Structure 1
Amino acid sequence: MKGSKSKNVLPGFGLSMGFTIFYLCLIVLIPLAGVFIKTAGLSWSEFWDAVANPRVLASYRVSFLTALFAAAVNVVFGLLVAWVLVRYRFPGKKIVDSLVDLPFALPTAVAGVALTAIYAPNGWIGQYAERLGLSIAFTPLGITIALMFIGLPFVVRTVQPVLQDLEKEVEEAAVMLGAYRFRTFRSVILPELVPALLTGFALAFARGIGEYGSVVFISGNMPMRTEIAPLLIMTKLEQYDYMGATAIALVMLVVSFLMLLLINYLQWRANRHTTTS
């Protein structure tokens, strides 16, 4: 009938939407707004002194660069792990599949202690690396390895369902048309995986920026060298410098948001290209 309002297939949309917005504001928006409100109490010179001194800038550099590099490495190896789990059958496959989720369940402090014990100069792997002149623990390399450990599941679990849903008939048609395996992967499979890979990269990168427990042990916490921004925030809080802590957190929040916004834009472009092609 004309003039009648169209009803949703699922009832209760208004109540569900209201609860969703309320929960989002309570858990996400209000705490983030608190950072802006707390930082607003600083003058511009005080804010600049808090976020632009050499020690803080060095902690930003360590946090963002190690998280960026770890997420990039995880994209490659996460795709490889997902490919093996989806495309091959082998004994112990379910065990390997379960081990991928271990960083989710393992307390981050336990992961940090374990990684430090392995990669320290007297550790199982670290002692051999030291003989080759390579220091892992208490260096940015050790931080990167810790972030790779906690970020790998994000890429694997994002890519795995997409690989499972790919139609093998398209690959077989490409092979029948004379495409080699690498060309089939590059032209047929990879474009379908790019949005999922970008999502996994964004999740791993975001987790790596704010990671604390698994990094604080293996980093050594040396100012200007291996001190991460989350640790510096904790140090400021222990010194009751709440303004300085929130100022550092605000910069991390803004930069992280801008980088995730860029990644989401690239993901949207990739999805659009895949849909139109």
Structure 2
Amino acid sequence: MAKRMRQRQRSILPGFGLSLGFTIFYLGGIVIIPLGVLVLRAAGFGLGDLWALATHERTVAALQLSFGASLIAALVNLVFGVLIAWVLVRYEFPGKRFIDAMVDLPFALPTAVAGIALTTLYAQNGWIGSLLEPLGITVAFTPAGVVIALIFISLPFVVRTVQPVLADLDHELEEAAASLGASRWQTFRRVILPALTPSFMTGFALAFARSVGEYGSVIFIAGNIPYVSEIAPLLIVIRLEEFDYDAATAIALIILIISFAALFLINLIQAWTRRRYGHAI
């Protein structure tokens, strides 16, 4: 009897059936149905027409820029985001709370405002752009400007993902490694890195996904030059304004397929790291 009572412990949330039903209903209405409509719309095209729309030279250039810049931005933030999280967790210094609050600024700041601010800074007559111009480096209105904007808007995802995991990491593990003669690099590689790897992958996935769909902060600093600095979300808007709904749908479908495949691969890597290191994110 006691065993049966333990198995039927009272749950704060409703039962499994009701919770699962609400979950499926909510995800269906918010995620699955809109994406399903997009797929059904694209299914009305012939494969030849869909392939021609998806492989148009301008479309390919926009997709390459969007996904390439997103990958670069996510990798950059993976390095510097972890460094920022490490400093915020492991050190005490004047202004720490202010810096910690600044990390969340890209969450609260309207993306259009961020784009205008970055363009002002990195334009040829801007504070930073004027210093880079004598060196032959141009950021604004180039693919480099796209990367800068994506780094700005996706940084918090890495920091806020790694920071709590790092804060919960037991210092005694590092002390034990040091007492056994491990160097700082060996302690980081064999003790800290395995514990943080799942959160690394989560932060990278969130930063990458956020960057792929970014629009507001990019269009100001990119210059939107076809075949050069035109991102895929902007090209979708352009096709809609031209009433070319078929092309817009085809581009959106390609973004959906590539994004889903990338995130699925990242989730597989996350699952592998959990099994290997035995740490939950």
Q: C-alpha offsets along residues 208-253 of structure 1, whole Å, 9 cap, x if unaligned? A: 0010000011000001011000000000111111111111100110
Matched, 1:259 2:262: yes
Deviation at 1:140, TM superposition (A): 1.0
Q: Quote the residue 1:9 is aligned against.
A: 10
Write the distance in 1 (CA, Å) between the matches of 2:267 and 2:152.
Answer: 23
Please state whether the residue corresponding to 1:16 is helix, strand or coil. Answer: helix
Q: TM-score, normalised by structure 2?
A: 0.95
Deviation at 1:193, TM superposition (A): 0.7
Write the distance in 2 (CA, Å) between the matches of 1:159 and 1:236.
Answer: 39
Residue 48 (structure 2) aligned to one of 45, 48, 64:
45
Q: Quote the residue 2:105 is aligned against.
A: 102
Please state whether the residue corresponding to 1:240 is helix, strand or coil. Answer: coil
Write the distance in 2 (CA, Å) between the matches of 1:20 and 1:268.
Answer: 22
**Structure 1 gap ranges (5+):** none
Q: Quote the residue 1:210 is aligned against.
A: 213
Please state whether the residue corresponding to 2:137 is helix, strand or coil. Answer: coil
Q: Quote the residue 2:95 is aligned against.
A: 92
Deviation at 1:17, TM superposition (A): 2.2
Please state whether the residue corresponding to 1:142 is helix, strand or coil. Answer: helix
Write the distance in 2 (CA, Å) between the matches of 1:44 and 1:107.
Answer: 39
For 2:10, the aligned partner's letter is: V
Q: TM-score, normalised by structure 1?
A: 0.96
Please state whether the residue corresponding to 1:12 is helix, strand or coil. Answer: coil
Please state whether the residue corresponding to 1:72 is helix, strand or coil. Answer: helix
Deviation at 1:134, TM superposition (A): 0.2
Write the distance in 2 (CA, Å) between the matches of 1:270 and 1:38.
Answer: 38
Deviation at 1:8, TM superposition (A): 5.1
Q: Quote the residue 1:111 is aligned against.
A: 114
Instruction: Tell me the matched-pair count.
Output: 275
Please state whether the residue corresponding to 1:77 is helix, strand or coil. Answer: helix
Please state whether the residue corresponding to 2:28 is helix, strand or coil. Answer: helix
Deviation at 1:9, TM superposition (A): 3.0
Matches within 5 A, 1:1-277: 1=1, 6-7=7-8, 9-10=10-11, 12-13=14-15, 14-275=17-278
Let me know the Cα RMSD of the aligned residues: 1.5
Write the distance in 1 (CA, Å) between the matches of 2:168 and 2:150.
Answer: 29
TM superposition outliers: structure 1 runs of 4+ over 4 Å: none
Bigger drift between 8-17 and 54-63 goes to 8-17
**Structure 2 gap ranges (5+):** none
